[in-house]
Structure 1
């Protein structure tokens, strides 16, 4: 088996080059994400439509809900994805245009701060092109036959981006593409919004069993997989090894972005990790529920197994739902507990990379706080802050549960669009020649398969141990 080629010196990196004057993408992501959340919370509290049954308020609907949506399903005519179909069609065009207006306006206003002197008009034109490609991805994912195989929008966005990037090429976008193709900014903003969905009170529903599955298995798999890649496969790119290991063991794309920034991974290395994650997620989302049923596992253990192993949160929900309502609740909760590790893993990788991996041989490891802070993906602070504030509102505010659910009903849609835009950008940025170099010798694929196999075995064992042996009463906490 041949070694991986040495990394090319001219490769782009994830936040390794000195950023141009202006706000960093981490700061833009925090500002954008927090602004969206504050706006949505304010509208939910002040203008939200309260649905009342008897003397009780049963739900609060954010007024932006009708203006934030995505294309729906269709059979033969793709136009129906916007106009709706059936006896009571539900048009989605208004929600799609609403998202376009909200995101385009907000990011265009911030364009000069991304790089002083930048032209907001260039960003707007480029963003319109990207949004069209993202919309096409959603429409493809909504086709009935395709949807039956659970081929999610993220995979189609990547395919659409690859088709564009490897035909007309990124250079065809010119100044518009340079202004609008900002993969990390879209993903990081989406992750800040995700923070409002990670509620501490919900995480404690499963208590110790969920923590055992998510916080014990995950670090073991991450460290073991990284060691396997370095010592057994002897991968020359440690940053590629670490990014794949974090992507596979924690929570897919979210962890890959944070870890890549902490270990200075190249953009093509990040693309390899994300590509592997999307392919395996699509397969596991379909196969795992069938395997769980064939093995005769109950919903609780099966849901925990899904939550701890499938990368994407959306795919976890789909796979858990195929098993049943209890499996969905357990799978989503375990995945949310695991999502908290994004910040912890990113910080740990930043510390390891600055004190040990990049230290000179035989030199005593030195803790450089300034370098660790420079490496630390600061958007994670926005994620944590959003989680804390949403958790406090959920726990202590009057009608807090409905306020949070009304808010996240809107921010989930915005997050989905941001991720879709990011996957289109990833595809456009992907160059098959550079990508094939990273797959030389098949080591990234071997690493992912071996790491995921270990992850599946340990997570299943821990799920059974936690729910059937150590804390069998925890099943009663699942509604």
Structure 2
């Protein structure tokens, strides 16, 4: 095939007792548990308001706070300790269900949590996170990298990379608490509710742009995916096991799609993890570059620019961050020309496009599971798989995502304005847990990425596929599709 597939030695596979439950089942249970606790706010019981969150800061002593003012008596440090204890208890139970040693996991997770949360804290520093000129003025900073407080993901990734490549013995010691697949699956289940509330809050826009948003599905799944797959297979000689998750990671929705595809085709655990690490690195580059390009060349087509962010930038966090930065840059340029766009519309287009892509991750994983079961990797003597076998390969955590999305959307659309406000607040508290799990995921990906070993085993070739596909094809086709469906449509003027 020209380039050999990456070896099993690329990333270590954790040894453990036989699992009592699957990661998918645990992810759904934990994600739905967080969602259910959040919904208790609708009945007057704020069950998650004590969780610690980090706001953008210049004074570190006031950065930590509780999610809800109802717990204002609990200071930021106390909320952080309580968050750590709750998370450790839940994940230690998950470690037991997965066959791990609970005491070992709890000790090492303590270190993982401290570093990962510290990365989120540092990523919320105003010099990294302040986006708009107004934000910079508010915090008294003259410049910023404009990463939003999701810059903590980048800091967490870098911290993990430093540990993996400078302190490999320490990285090896932490391995039992490094579970990126479990953490991201839990986050995705919670994410379903957050996307639903966001979509419901912009229902008029979402409805009017629905057909245009559906174009994202055709573009991402039927155009991007096969082209990237062929580039990986024919151009670089990668095996099907690597080409499919790579195609999903580049063309669909980054980390979530790579993991869903890896589960659907029963790829080795290190395959989606390694692809995810590339997705994160390239998403950072896109967030820093594409909004500037959008402001320079598309300031008079703001919704084209917004849709382009949703189609071109991989991972939900990076896409929404890019949409927010693009909105700020274009609105500032428009204001200088005397045009005052109503805020929120550009970001809503980015989020709406991303919603359609996210919802269909599960459908695409099911299609790939069917193809792999029947044609690519059938069981000996059974070339045509049964429906039960296809279901066995289907990534169940996607069902958790769909469940939280549908329930939250039904609640948002079926309640009055007051209850909808309570729902948005409740899901906002749940979303803090989603952010924490994202930070844990990014840190874990970094710890598992020993570049000396990865380069020996083919990381450079994977990066080449990503580079050629993303910057040579994906972002430009995404721009054409965005132009075809959104050109000429402008946000309403503020008045």
Which range, TM-score by smaller chain? 0.7 to 0.9
> Judging changes above 3 Å, is the alpha-carbon distance between structure 1 residues 168 and 448 closer, same or farther for their aligned structure 2 residues?
closer
> Judging changes above 3 Å, is the alpha-carbon distance between structure 1 residues 111 and 289 closer, same or farther for their aligned structure 2 residues?
closer
- The answer to whether the 8 Å contact 2:194/2:428 transfers is no
- The answer to whether the 8 Å contact 2:308/2:350 transfers is yes
TM-score (norm 2): 0.81
Task: Report SS of the residue matched to 2:4.
Answer: coil
Aligned to 1:155: 154
Aligned to 2:184: 187
- The answer to whether the 8 Å contact 1:99/1:414 transfers is no
Task: Report SS of the residue matched to 1:70.
Answer: strand
- The answer to whether the 8 Å contact 2:181/2:273 transfers is no
- The answer to whether the 8 Å contact 2:52/2:65 transfers is no
- The answer to whether the 8 Å contact 2:217/2:357 transfers is yes
Aligned to 2:21: 23
TM-superposed CA distance for 1:4, in Å, is 2.5
Aligned to 1:370: 388
Find 1:71's aligned residue among 54, 58, 71.
54
> Judging changes above 3 Å, is the alpha-carbon distance between structure 1 residues 281 and 365 closer, same or farther for their aligned structure 2 residues?
same
Aligned to 2:244: 242
The within-5 A match list for 1:72-471 is 72-75=55-58, 81-82=63-64, 92-115=76-99, 118-147=100-129, 148-151=144-147, 152-169=151-168, 174=173, 177-178=175-176, 180-199=177-196, 201=200, 202=203, 203-235=206-238, 237-297=239-299, 298-324=301-327, 325-359=344-378, 366-398=384-416, 399-439=418-458, 442-452=460-470, 453-468=472-487
Task: Report SS of the residue matched to 1:23.
Answer: coil
- The answer to whether the 8 Å contact 1:289/1:323 transfers is yes
Task: Report SS of the residue matched to 2:325.
Answer: helix
Aligned residues: 446
Question: Deviations along 1:247-300, whole A, 9 cap, x unmatched?
Answer: 111111111111122223334433332222122211211221211121134211
Question: Deviations along 1:315-335, whole A, 9 cap, x unmatched?
Answer: 222222223232111111111
TM-superposed CA distance for 1:79, in Å, is 5.2
Question: Deviations along 1:393-438, whole A, 9 cap, x unmatched?
Answer: 1121344522431221111110010111122222222232331134
TM-superposed CA distance for 1:23, in Å, is 0.8
> Judging changes above 3 Å, is the alpha-carbon distance between structure 1 residues 239 and 225 closer, same or farther for their aligned structure 2 residues?
same
TM-superposed CA distance for 1:464, in Å, is 1.7
TM-superposed CA distance for 1:171, in Å, is 6.8
Unaligned runs of 5+ in 2: 67-73, 130-143, 328-343
Report the more deviating stretch, 249-258 or 209-218: 209-218
The within-5 A match list for 1:51-62 is 62=46
Hey, what's the Cα distance between the residues in 2 that align with 1:216 and 1:26?
A: 28
Hey, what's the Cα distance between the residues in 1 that align with 2:492 and 2:175?
A: 52
TM-superposed CA distance for 1:94, in Å, is 4.2
Question: Deviations along 1:431-470, whole A, 9 cap, x unmatched?
Answer: 3233113436x4322321232232222222222211237x
Hey, what's the Cα distance between the residues in 2 that align with 1:177 and 1:224?
A: 36
The within-5 A match list for 1:25-40 is 25-40=23-38
Hey, what's the Cα distance between the residues in 1 that align with 2:427 and 2:195?
A: 10
- The answer to whether the 8 Å contact 1:74/1:142 transfers is yes
Hey, what's the Cα distance between the residues in 1 that align with 2:182 and 2:283?
A: 23
Unaligned runs of 5+ in 1: 49-61, 85-89
TM-superposed CA distance for 1:231, in Å, is 2.0
Alignment RMSD (CA, Å): 3.3
TM-superposed CA distance for 1:22, in Å, is 0.3
